[in-house]
Structure 1
Amino acid sequence: MRLIQILSSLLLLAISHSITFAQIGVLGQDSTRRVISTAVSFLTITPDARSAGMGDVGVALSPDANATHWNPAKLAFLEKTMGMSISYSPWLQKLVNDMSIAYLSGYYKISKQEAVAMSLRYFNMGSIQFTDLQGRLQQDFNPREIALDGTYSRKLSKEFSMAITGRFVHSNLAGNFSNGPGNVNATPGNVVAADISAYYEKKKIIGMIPTTVAFGLNISNIGGRMTYNNPTTADYIPTNLRLGTGITAEIDEYNKLTFALDINKLLVPTPPIRNGQGQIIKGKDPDRTLVSAMFGSFNDAPNGLREEIQELMFAMGAEYWYKDIFALRGGYFNENTIKGARKYFTLGLGFRYQKFGIDFAYMMPTIQNHPLADTMRFTLLFDFGRSKQEKSVTDEEGAVQ
């Protein structure tokens, strides 16, 4: 259905998986681009201001309530009994004034080694007007997408944890609208997905400086395909592999410095090259089972290993804390030009006082007139309760060793 194709294209633009207006136009295509497109791509948008200020790193950063998005396994390392986070970002401010992303997350420590969490993500795509085939106004509608998550996280040793997350995703792009007799209604789409994550944290003394070295892994959005009106035209959701590391040095009692690096890869089929009749002439058929699509995504690019490497996305960032009260952040995100060309610098600020925190982030794309230029994010954090002090199984294991 033409309507759904247009809305899907707008969504791709919204997350900058398409190129800027100056290069290809809003809905145009460029044959030199090999962008991997998915449904509900809002699931990959950075929700919180801390990571957004650090170039979109997060899988191995020190844990907070926003670990529900980046790496739920980190939740087991949180010290407070419970906490929550509220994030908000106006979206595509250069184009419209009524799009936004909101994110709410909260966790609770069952014990020192276990945590549960929930999060809610809401993507408001503003208001659109539907017309009939003669161009007459039929109705106004507010396209929106929602994701609701539930997580269980547990330490398996003093330094290692894992987590599993269940996710329900609802996407309503057209609200059952039909533009005439004989046309198929564009119904809302629903899908269920899961995340599997792991986190390792080791405290060391390096050059007489207390240092924490961390590694993280998160395979997110493992699930079926999304369809809006016909199962035969179902689209993959953005199953993603995220690997990363972070190093935090406590220089002295006042100053702390963190460096982090994330590498991302979509675990969905690379689009093949087709001839004018739609027949595949290079690459592999993207119509596969979930498992085949995930594992096959490492060797299905039509241009071989070179293109597979081009599908990797790199995020790097730094964070400086003064007395655990004030933070200054910066980062850079890079995506290959033929795979979406998202390249931008970020800046961020943070403030903590007792049980309250606030973060701010600002995006600066390297391409002029980019629709995501000047994107800002805001996050409020709240920590409740005391630290869990009871002895855990992992502590007992460490004592025996």
Structure 2
Amino acid sequence: MKNGRNIFLCFFLLVLMDWNTVCAQSVEKITIDGSRASNILTSVPFLLITPQARSGGMGNAGVAVEADANAPSLNMASMAYLKDGSYGFSVTYSPWLKNLTQGMSLSYLSGYYRIDERNTIAASLRYFSIGDVKFIDNNQQDLGIFNPNEFAADLSYARSFGPDFSLGGSLRFIYSNLYSAQFNSEGQSGTGKAVAVDVSGLYKKDGYFLGGPVIWSAGLNISNIGTKISYNIGDNPYFLPANLKIGTAATLVGEESKLIIALDLNKLLVPTQPVYDADGNIVNGSYPDRSVPSGIFGSFADAPGGLREELQEVGISTGLEFSFKERFAVRAGYNYQNPNKGNNNYLTLGAGLKYNVLSIDFSYLAGSINSNPLANTLRFGLQFSFDKRRATKYSKVN
């Protein structure tokens, strides 16, 4: 089962990295040929998938974009500026890596309630299904077909500190069931559990640009700061995919239309794997098996290639959204990773429709400059948004 676990982790890293560069590596040790390609290893990488269709159509950018019901997955702090008395929920579904396998999918359910003019609470559930997988042990014995899955449940809170600044946070429980608790000669393989938090902030300011009103905003979200995860089979625990996302957005407001231009930068806050010699000794880089705080703070200066390699670990997401009368929206975006750190580059497109309390969104990963396992990925989303004050006023009139 140990080899089976390595296969699983290598497979899940496809979510983040290019097929060829990832599978050339070993999960236990990075290759000894000095290659610096895609050598950041984490558990439960499904937590880094942007679950919402709106941001998916904007190249996964959105940490500084105005909130909707899906905002806890990007920046909970932005929900502090939803309409007073509003509440709603959303559901998103996406088939995942369908070019490689059938049955893998990501589902996301989120709901929120604006308590008063300063405070908002939210809850969400992320469920990642691997599909049917045939298990075989080291002796090539058939263990049967199972459906590995993972999920994360969040409770979130946001508070505004005036019209310009807000803070938010989430408490997350993570459950990873990759092995269906099967027994084998090496002992019992189990499920992985972990607890993590997100910390987010948003700053926005009204201004003018080209003679028209504009809202400038900047956002930050540090996600998945938590315990390591272990599968109770005697191996070292794995880092969660702690991630730093910072971004900015400009919202140009017209009489009947609105244009949003967004830019995000992303960096994993986990150790970069060092270079080993043929005997397994580190010849360049830092020891990767450290504490979570050391891994987070050390992630800014532990790359064997120095500052140049650290900068290569920063991914870029940029996107546009044009909406008309808050009823129809079209979106486009681009996601970039350095060729030595994933090489996961692609164009996205999206659209949205809104009627009364219902919003429908979808996004499409249109193409890439390389052979990308995420090509043709679709995300579908439904949102229902309600205004308690408006509903009360309407009932009194009638």
TM-score, length-scaled by structure 2: 0.92
- 1:210 is displaced (CA, Å) by 1.5
Secondary structure of residue in 2 paired with 1:51: helix
Q: Do the aligned partners of residues 284 and 132 (structure 1) sit closer, same or farther apart at CA in structure 2, a change above 3 Å counting?
A: closer
Cα contact 1:4–1:186 (8 A) shared by 2 = no
Which amino acid in 1 is paired with 2:246?
L
Task: Output the CA distance in 2 between the equivalents of 1:69 and 1:78.
Answer: 16
Q: TM-score, normalised by structure 1?
A: 0.91
In structure 2, what is the equivalent of residue 55 of structure 1? 59
Alpha-carbon separation, structure 2, partners of 1:336 and 1:313 = 7
Match of 2:126 in 1: 121
What value does the CA root-mean-square deviation take over the aligned residues?
A: 1.8
Displacement after TM superposition at 1:112 (Å): 1.2
In the alignment, what sits opposite 2:24? 28
Change (3 A) 1:132 1:199: closer
The match for 1:307 is: 309
CA distance in 2, matches of 1:32, 1:364: 28
Q: Is the 8 A contact 1:88 1:102 kept in 2?
A: yes
Aligned counterpart, 1:97: 102
What is aligned with 1:366?
368
Quote how far apart the aligned CAs of 1:233 are: 1.2
Equivalent residue letter for 1:380: L
Q: How far apart, CA to CA, are the structure 2 residues paired with 1:46 and 1:346?
A: 13
Instruction: Name the CA shift for 1:387/1:249 in 2 (closer, same or farther; >3 Å).
Output: farther
Does 2:87 align with 1:87?
A: no
Write the mapping of 1:209-224 to structure 2, written as runs, cut at 5 A: 209-224=212-227
- Residue 194 of structure 1 is matched in structure 2 by 197
- Rate the CA distance shift 1:32–1:297 in 2: closer, same or farther, 3 A: closer
Residue 78, structure 1, aligned to residue 64, structure 2: no
Number of the residue aligned with 1:69: 73
Q: Compare 222-231 and 29-38 and name the one that shifted more.
A: 29-38
**Residue of structure 2 equivalent to 1:354:** 356
1:310-334 deviation line (CA, Å, top 9, x unaligned): 0000000000011111101000000
The 5 Å alignment of 1:247-326 reads 247-251=250-254, 253-326=255-328
Q: Which amino acid in the other structure matches residue 373 of structure 1?
A: A
CA distance in 2, matches of 1:267, 1:257: 32
Q: 1:7 to 1:155 in 2, by over 3 A?
A: same
Q: How many residues align?
A: 381
Q: Distance in 2 between matches of 1:222 and 1:203?
A: 32
Q: Give the Cα–Cα distance (whole angstroms) in 1 for the partners of residues 366 and 39 of structure 2.
A: 22
Is the contact between residue 184 and residue 229 of structure 1 (CA under 8 Å) also seen in structure 2?
A: no
Distance 2:103 2:9 in 1: 18
Q: For residue 138 of structure 1, what is the aligned residue in structure 2?
A: 143
Aligned partners of 2:135 and 2:145 also within 8 Å: yes
Distance in 2, Cα, partners of 1:117 & 1:343: 32
C-alpha displacement at 1:136, in angstroms? 4.2
Residue 5 of structure 2 corresponds to residue 4 of structure 1? yes
AA partner of residue 160 (structure 2): K
- Displacement of 1:230 in angstroms is 4.3
Distance change >3 Å, CA 133–CA 256, structure 1 → 2? closer
1:262 shift after superposition = 0.3
Q: Secondary structure at the match of 1:12?
A: helix
Q: Does the 8 Å contact 2:89/2:111 carry over to 1?
A: yes
